[in-house]
Amino acid sequence: MAILCSSCGSKIPFTGNVCPKCHADKGHDKAWSVVFMIVGIPLFLIGGGIAGLVGAIGGAILAGVITHKLVGSGTQRQPAPPRER
């Protein structure tokens, strides 16, 4: 499973803690992905069972809103590059 880096947009492995391209911390992106899956899958299935495709899409959108409220946005400030000695 891979996630997208919120700083540079590159695809990174879920197991990594730092983006190999821009060296930004990925802890927040991983938390966002996990919470979205935990909240999103049940809401997607419930919405789909109640109102078909429109309900499933509505459930996924609602999951995104709930995840944003719980975890915050997926963007964060990029760390300063290491200084050379």
According to the model, what pLDDT value does residue 9 have? 78
Give the confidence band of 6 by pLDDT, cuts at 50, 70, 90: confident
Q: Name the pTM for this structure.
A: 0.53
CA distance 5 to 13: 10
Segment 17-63, tens digit of pLDDT: 778 788 777 776 777 777 788 888 888 888 888 889 888 888 888 88
